[in-house]
A and B are shown apart, each in its own frame.
Chain A
Amino acid sequence: MNTVPADIRPDRFAHKALRHWGERLIEGALFLAAFSAVAVTVAIVGVLFYESLSFFEHVPLRDFLTDTQWTIMFSDKHFGVAPLLAGTLTTTGVALLLAVPVGTVTAIYLSEFASHRVRETVKPALEMLAGIPTVVFGYFALLMVTPALQWFMPNLPGFNMLGPGLVIGIMIIPYVSSVAEDAMRAVPMHMREGSYAMGATRLQTALKVVMPAATSGVVAAYILGISRAVGETMVVAVAAGQQPNFTFDPRESGATITAFIVQVALGDLPHGSLEYQSIFAVGLVLVLLTLFFNVLGHLVRKRFREAY
Chain B
Amino acid sequence: MDISAGVIAAQTANAGMPPLKAQASELEFFYGDVQALKRVSMPVAANRVTALIGPSGCGKSTFLRCFNRMHDLYDGSRYSGQIVFQPDGIDILDRSVDPIEVRMRIGMVFQKPNPFPKSIFENVAYGLRVRGERSRRVMAEKVEMALRDASLWDEVSDRLDDMAFNLSGGQQQRLCIARALATEPELMLFDEPTSALDPIATANIEELIHRLKDKVTILIVTHNMQQAARVSDYTAFMYLGELVEFGDTNLIFTNPKSKRTEDYITGRYG
A and B touch in the complex (CB under 8 A): yes
A1 vs B102: C-alpha distance when bound (angstroms): 16
A2 CB-CB contact with B under 8 Å: yes
Which of A3, A9, A19 neighbours the largest number of chain B CB atoms within 10 Å of its CB? A3
Given contact pairs A1-B94, A3-B2, A16 touches B89 in the complex (Cβ within 8 A):
no
Size band of the interface chain A makes with B: 10 to 19
Specify the main secondary structure of chain A where it touches its partner: loop
State whether B4 touches A3 (Cβ < 8 A): yes
A206 vs B76: C-alpha distance when bound (angstroms): 40
The answer, among A3, A12, A16, for a CB contact under 8 Å with B3, is A3
A199 CB-CB contact with B under 8 Å: no
Q: Contact flags (1/0) for A11-39 with B, using CB distance below 8 Å? A: 01111100110000000000000000000
Chain B residues 90 to 119 lying within 8 A of chain A, measured CB to CB, are 90-92, 94, 96-98, 100-102, 105
State whether B88 touches A3 (Cβ < 8 A): no
Which residue of chain B lies nearest to A16 when distances are taken between CB atoms in the complex? B98
**A-B residue pairs in contact (CB < 8 Å), sample of 7:** A3-B2, A3-B3, A3-B4, A12-B105, A13-B88, A15-B97, A19-B100
State whether A4 touches B4 (Cβ < 8 A): yes
Q: How far is the CB of B239 from chain A (nearest CB, A)?
A: 29
Given contacts A13-B101, A14-B101, A16-B98, 7 further A-B contacts (CB under 8 A): A9-B90, A12-B88, A12-B101, A13-B90, A13-B92, A13-B98, A20-B98
A10 CB-CB contact with B under 8 Å: yes
State whether A3 touches B89 (Cβ < 8 A): yes
B44 CB-CB contact with A under 8 Å: no
The answer, among B96, B101, B105, for a CB contact under 8 Å with A2, is B96
State whether A1 touches B91 (Cβ < 8 A): yes
The answer, among B90, B92, B98, B105, for a CB contact under 8 Å with A4, is B90
A1 vs B84: C-alpha distance when bound (angstroms): 11
Q: Which chain A positions have C-beta within 8 A of B97? A: 13, 15
Which residue of chain A lies nearest to B5 when distances are taken between CB atoms in the complex? A4
Q: Which chain A positions have C-beta within 8 A of B3? A: 3
Specify the main secondary structure of chain B where it touches its partner: loop
Given contact pairs A12-B105, A16-B100, A4 touches B89 in the complex (Cβ within 8 A):
yes
Which residue of chain A lies nearest to B7 when distances are taken between CB atoms in the complex? A3
Q: How far is the CB of A23 from chain B (nearest CB, A)?
A: 9
Q: Which chain B positions have C-beta within 8 A of A15? A: 96-98
A244 vs B97: C-alpha distance when bound (angstroms): 70
Q: Which chain B positions have C-beta within 8 A of A3? A: 2-4, 84, 89-91
Chain B residues 1 to 18 lying within 8 A of chain A, measured CB to CB, are 2-5
Q: Which chain A positions have C-beta within 8 A of B90? A: 2-4, 9-10, 13
Q: Which chain B positions have C-beta within 8 A of A2? A: 90-91, 94, 96
Q: Which chain A positions have C-beta within 8 A of B88? A: 4, 9-10, 12-13
Q: Which chain B positions have C-beta within 8 A of A12? A: 88, 101, 105
Which residue of chain A lies nearest to B89 when distances are taken between CB atoms in the complex? A4
Q: Which chain A positions have C-beta within 8 A of B91? A: 1-3
A9 vs B90: C-alpha distance when bound (angstroms): 8
Which residue of chain B lies nearest to A19 when distances are taken between CB atoms in the complex? B100
A4 vs B91: C-alpha distance when bound (angstroms): 9
Q: Which chain B positions have C-beta within 8 A of A14? A: 101
A4 vs B97: C-alpha distance when bound (angstroms): 13
A3 vs B83: C-alpha distance when bound (angstroms): 11
Q: Contact flags (1/0) for A42-77 with B, using CB distance below 8 Å? A: 000000000000000000000000000000000000
Q: How far is the CB of A128 from chain B (nearest CB, A)?
A: 31
A10 vs B87: C-alpha distance when bound (angstroms): 10
A4 vs B84: C-alpha distance when bound (angstroms): 11
A10 vs B97: C-alpha distance when bound (angstroms): 12
A15 vs B102: C-alpha distance when bound (angstroms): 11
Q: How far is the CB of B107 from chain A (nearest CB, A)?
A: 16
Q: How far is the CB of B263 from chain A (nearest CB, A)?
A: 38
Q: Which chain B positions have C-beta within 8 A of A20? A: 98
Which residue of chain A lies nearest to B97 when distances are taken between CB atoms in the complex? A13
Q: How far is the CB of A237 from chain B (nearest CB, A)?
A: 48
A13 vs B96: C-alpha distance when bound (angstroms): 9
Q: How far is the CB of B88 from chain A (nearest CB, A)?
A: 5
Which residue of chain A lies nearest to B95 when distances are taken between CB atoms in the complex? A1
A307 vs B188: C-alpha distance when bound (angstroms): 43
Q: Which chain A positions have C-beta within 8 A of B100? A: 16, 19
Which residue of chain B lies nearest to A23 when distances are taken between CB atoms in the complex? B100
Chain B residues 40 to 74 lying within 8 A of chain A, measured CB to CB, are none
Q: How far is the CB of A162 from chain B (nearest CB, A)?
A: 54
A134 vs B42: C-alpha distance when bound (angstroms): 69
A3 vs B4: C-alpha distance when bound (angstroms): 6
Q: How far is the CB of A273 from chain B (nearest CB, A)?
A: 54
A194 vs B143: C-alpha distance when bound (angstroms): 57
A276 vs B88: C-alpha distance when bound (angstroms): 73
A15 vs B90: C-alpha distance when bound (angstroms): 13
